[in-house]
Amino acid sequence: MNTNPQARFRAKIWVFSVCLLLLFSLLIAPQALQSDIGHRSQPVKGFTYDFDRWPYPIHAEVNARLQELAKQYPNIARTILIGKTREGRDMMVMEITNKETGSGTSKPAVWLDANIHAGEITGRLYMTYLIERLIFEYGKNPDVTRLVDTRAFYVLPVFDADGGERILTRHPAWPGYNPKEQPGKDLDGDGYITQIRVKDASREGGYRYYLESDEVIRGRAQTDFMNRRSRNELTGEREGEDFNRNWSAEWLPEEPGAGPYPFSLPELRHVADFLTTTHKNVFFVYSIHSGGGQHEGRSYFVRPLMDHPYEKMQHEDNDFYVRAGAIWSYLSAGNVIENNYYSFLFNTSEEDEEGNQKGYGPTMAGFMSDFIYSHVGLHCILPEISGSGIDYDKDGYYTIPELERWAREEMGDKIYSPWKPYDHPILGKVEIGGSRGIPPALGDRAKFDCEAQYDWILYVANLSPLLRIKNVTADPTSDGKIKVVATIRNDGCLSRYVTRNAIKIRRDYPVLAKINVTGAKLVDSEPIKNIGHLLGTWSYIRYWIEGQDRSTKTAEWTLEPAGSGSIEVTVEVQSHKGGTDKKTITFKK
């Protein structure tokens, strides 16, 4: 035995370092460092995607492509119609999973949606990228193949299809243009509705601006469909519902865009039904917004609880966002994860450096993320991701001046109409031209965001609970019967219940083990056993250090042989969020 204090100290440091390295490995690369998940990856050779397309595809084209892929790859892709929008458009979800390894509902699943706000259209770019790349890389990339074999992905590329259609059909030169649905008029016949400017020495810049129209429409007008935050001056009522203020969690009627009651929007009801009724296998929700780079300089993730300090969340649940958020920051070159309570843009409880109140209003209620976590018991992220342009000064932020410079120097007449003289019926001598609208995500910046999100989504899918039957044994007892023991383990990082809040709100559906027997009969036991919960790596590691393994449990049955021949025993384990598994053994009596 070494009694040298320095040697003992060095030995303790070595053991601590090894343990720390092991813990770090578990956090960064789940499931025993078996893959590149949690790191930036490159697409498999041969994969292509058009990052320079503008305008983005309209709703009908997106759905047509989903159906084409489902027909082309029927073993791993299918479309699910979950409902209709208010104007009758199909809300089409793409399911991606290997049907030969089980149905989608028999596996842990990730839900992803985009374009939940009409004007936030970048998500359809990111989600169609994800769909195309997942399908292309299946059978070529070992990580993707394993995840598609063992998990399911449900993707709704266009949530607010009606509103998104208005945005992407606003010019006569664009597919789907309907003059009855768009403000303004193409007076000069160039195919675009831009601006009118009138000389005015009293204005900064020397001009007054109007929307291109034979009427006088100040500024940049929007259709009535888009006025979800304004109030009617006579009645005081909101003009319309906001797709991310109409959920039931902490819903408040005074919240801008709250609507007359929670889930008054049919599109929200369709998604809520999918997640809570027909597809209880979903453990994580990802709903893309288009703030971030286009407005704040950098993209970021928004997490629940939206209008509360992090400490209000269950500790184990908060731990998920700390760890997963660190991976997002790593993959996205330093972008952050936060909630609106701590955000400069929204929090009204603090003051800025000049003593002015921060935030856009005193209430923050009715969010999808809070509904998913507080009322359904799942984890949820609302990413604010968009961005075009070039970071000219390399400070990591894409500022408005940099965006304007990029649009002027790199895009030119692709997004600008030259100013031309025009004789307006009301305003007289004017000029028509200016911006046709800057693409919210394009080129290299869009490519970076697509790839970073793809890698992070694979990382989260890899964290799911994953139940497996490790073995089934059958041993004779002293009284001539047979004892069957099934050992069941959660191989995932998240616990079977996913969130501690799910336990609190009684959405923590237990693990059920079922036995089916041929050649024997059950004695003094029911065929279905409730074995409770199985912890995941991220939860039970604290107990594991103490020598306890809370990821594994057993289910036992007693059999009595009947007749001659062999006995066949099949054990099946079922769990909404942890998937299903089945194992069969045959033995002689």
Query: What is the model's pLDDT at position 350?
Result: 56
The Cα 108–Cα 106 span in angstroms is: 7
Question: Residue written as tokens 């099934």?
Answer: 486
Reply yes or no: is the peptide bond before residue 252 cis, omega within 30 of 0. no
Please check whether residue 495 is in contact with residue 534, taking contact to mean a CB–CB distance below 8 angstroms. Answer: yes
* Helix locations, 299-355, DSSP H: 315-331
The Cα 254–Cα 251 span in angstroms is: 9
* Helix locations, 381-442, DSSP H: 400-406
CA distances from 209 to 47, 98, 204, 278 (A): 44, 55, 11, 51
For 56-91, letters b (16+ CB in 10 Å) and e give bbbbeebbebbeebbeeeeebbbbbebbebeeebbb
Nearest to 528 by CA among 580, 585, 572: 572
Sheet holding 282-288, edge to edge: 77-84, 90-96, 152-156, 109-114, 282-288, 379-384, 300-302, 336-338
Strands 90-96 and 428-435: unpaired
Domain 467-588: CATH superfamily, name plus number = Immunoglobulins (2.60.40.10)
Query: What is the model's pLDDT at position 414?
Result: 84
Query: What is the model's pLDDT at position 7?
Result: 47
**N residues, the chain:** 589
pLDDT, tens digit only, all 589 positions of the chain? 444 555 444 444 444 443 443 444 444 444 433 457 888 899 999 999 999 999 999 999 999 999 999 999 999 999 999 999 999 999 999 999 999 999 999 999 999 999 999 989 999 999 999 999 999 999 999 999 999 999 999 999 999 999 999 999 999 999 999 999 999 999 999 999 999 999 999 988 899 999 999 998 875 444 443 444 455 555 555 557 899 999 999 998 888 889 999 999 999 999 999 999 999 999 999 999 987 666 566 789 999 998 888 999 999 999 999 999 999 999 998 888 988 887 755 555 555 566 665 555 555 789 999 999 999 999 999 999 988 888 898 887 888 788 888 888 888 888 889 999 999 999 999 999 998 988 889 999 999 999 999 999 999 999 999 999 999 999 999 998 999 999 999 999 999 999 999 999 999 888 999 999 999 999 978 999 999 999 998 886 666 666 677 899 999 999 999 888 899 999 999 999 999 999 999 998 7
Give the three-state DSSP class for 483: strand
Strands 152-156 and 528-530: unpaired
* Helix locations, 138-192, DSSP H: 142-150, 161-168
**Any idea what DSSP says for residue 274?**
I
The Cα 557–Cα 8 span in angstroms is: 50
Nearest to 487 by CA among 583, 391, 379: 583
Taken in order 43, 47, 53, 57, is the CA torsion positive or negative?
A: negative
The reported pTM is 0.89
- H or E stretch covering 96: strand 90-96
Give the three-state DSSP class for 519: coil
Strand partners, 118: none
Strand partners, 473: 485
* Amino acid symbol at 429: K
Residue 42 CB neighbour total at 10 angstroms: 8
Domain 35-164+240-388+447-461: CATH superfamily, name plus number = Zn peptidases (3.40.630.10)
Task: For the chain, give every domain's residue range.
Answer: 1-33, 35-164+240-388+447-461, 183-222+391-435, 467-588
Question: Residue written as tokens 């509904």?
Answer: 371
* Amino acid symbol at 468: R
What DSSP string runs through 436-447? S---SB-HHHHH
Phi, psi of 2 (to 5 degrees): -85, 120
